[in-house]
Structure 1
């Protein structure tokens, strides 16, 4: 059967393109800076200095959002204490940053892999390869969150430099609908994801060194913010003591040596005594320190830690 071409299709595509171009023109991350039109003609050292100067703007921009970042940390911590999870959603660079932060929590803080999760548009393949149109699928994130059995105890953090990624918007809308805490991280003010989420962390980093390459300043800002979200919430959960990781998991020789050194530093014991205590504590730095500082046996120390919700400082005070 012969089909007649849809004469309205090209016009619709053109209309959509015009709309998108209009939206992009309002985003600071998409802005073109004319003073960098001769980058390819400059020396390498000068390029390094220029790019470094641009990067220095990022921590300043993050600092300006300290209050709202703290609000997110407190919300995440409260939900962790109720057995909730932190789930990142994002596409491309933003998605990879969420996956990276989630994957580093178990070895750093001794958390279960399910406690902090990273979801990326396009799935596992998208971590290393671009997946065409994945970020435009507004239904994919809700489906992934349903598979994780998202509840009101959880926190969903959507990451998008532009602040308008459909994958992220769809995920945040679904999360808010089930009562989860929703947080948006973007690099543009008055973002769409910020309007959807309860907490909007909008770190405006300005035009990129290479126009629209949001893996640069925007990506750096996102990494700094997610570092804060997990690290500071873990501090509040007692995963550190005197600024040192005490719930790290020794998965290799280097980390085992670090564990022994940490026990020695925090307890004042010698290396041999610290190593012996660590073995008696089944590799738990926190338990080994508690045993050495208080003289408690493993069972009594474990009970004290449980009573103190895993907070070493409180367990030491209780046994002392």
Structure 2
């Protein structure tokens, strides 16, 4: 039977003759297309919820979260993973982003890196992936061999899998225990999936990591109480969080932060006095 899978992300743009448009027209049309992305994400909230809940369970069992992807998708996974330690104070090993072609591919394209169906599993093994972990494949097309091969190998090894893709019923979804399919339609520039598809992936990643960290107790009320204080701006932000939480002056809050070394400890100490 003929495979009915079609890459909506590769379909021709709904707009023609872009080079003839004024700057204002270009921006208006791109903005119009972008407005459809959150609505597409909304349709997948239940699928995102299921994935978040299983991630929380795996991490509570001592597991780790891995994102795997190529190109823009891989970079978005790395971005989300790299923001977790400073924002939520977790270990750098808890959330990991792997990209086809390795660290070099973060900045420049590595030729044919995404075409190696075995490399993702090799990369995961270097990071000591285990059964308690969960691996999420990110790919706009839903067909990237690097991701397909990695998720298939994980399933063969009894490791839970999920995905964030922008085409329905894709090969990647078929090797995902918890698929998320955010169908955003054709791109403004035909096939340029860094645009709406990339925005959709970023929104979903924000939702996943933020929700997981809240469920793991890394947020108190609405505050990043475990944030890393790695520069002057973050020290001031920490002081403001303490000031707001305790109803005290920013100067006193800054003194408490200096004494206790973390927003959480400062708030907890004053609250339980």
Match for residue 104 of structure 1?
83
Match for residue 288 of structure 1?
266
Match for residue 226 of structure 1?
205
1:152-174 CA deviation, whole Å, 9 max, x = no partner? 11110100111011100111112
CA distance in 2, matches of 1:179, 1:164: 22
1:6-62 CA deviation, whole Å, 9 max, x = no partner? xxxxxxxxxxxxxxxx989921111013x5222111111111110000011110000
Match of 2:6 among 26, 32, 49: 26
CA distance in 1, matches of 2:4, 2:140: 12
Match of 1:66 among 17, 35, 45: 45
- CA drift at 1:180: 2.1
Q: Is the 8 A contact 1:269 1:292 kept in 2?
A: no
- CA drift at 1:176: 1.7
Q: How does 1:52-131 map to 2 (within 5 A)?
A: 52-131=31-110
**Cα gap change, 1:24/1:136 in structure 2, threshold over 3 Å: closer, same or farther?**
farther
Match for residue 13 of structure 1?
none
Cα RMSD of the aligned pairs, angstroms, is 1.5
- CA drift at 1:269: 2.5
Match for residue 239 of structure 2?
260
Bigger RCO (CA 8 Å, 6+ sep): 2
**TM-score (norm. length: structure 2):** 0.96
SS at match of 1:157: strand
Q: Is the 8 A contact 1:183 1:198 kept in 2?
A: yes
Richer in helix (by share)? 1
1:220-249 CA deviation, whole Å, 9 max, x = no partner? 001011111100000111111221211100
Q: Is the 8 A contact 1:138 1:166 kept in 2?
A: yes
Q: How does 1:131-210 map to 2 (within 5 A)?
A: 131-210=110-189
Aligned structure 1 segments of 4 or more residues deviating by more than 3 angstroms? 22-25
1:58-83 CA deviation, whole Å, 9 max, x = no partner? 10000000001000111111111111
**Cα gap change, 1:231/1:75 in structure 2, threshold over 3 Å: closer, same or farther?**
same
Q: Is the 8 A contact 2:77 2:98 kept in 1?
A: yes
Unaligned runs of 5+ in 1: 1-21, 296-320
CA distance in 2, matches of 1:24, 1:262: 52
CA distance in 2, matches of 1:24, 1:37: 27
> How many residues end up aligned between the 2 structures?
272
1:105-144 CA deviation, whole Å, 9 max, x = no partner? 1111111111111000000000011111100001100001
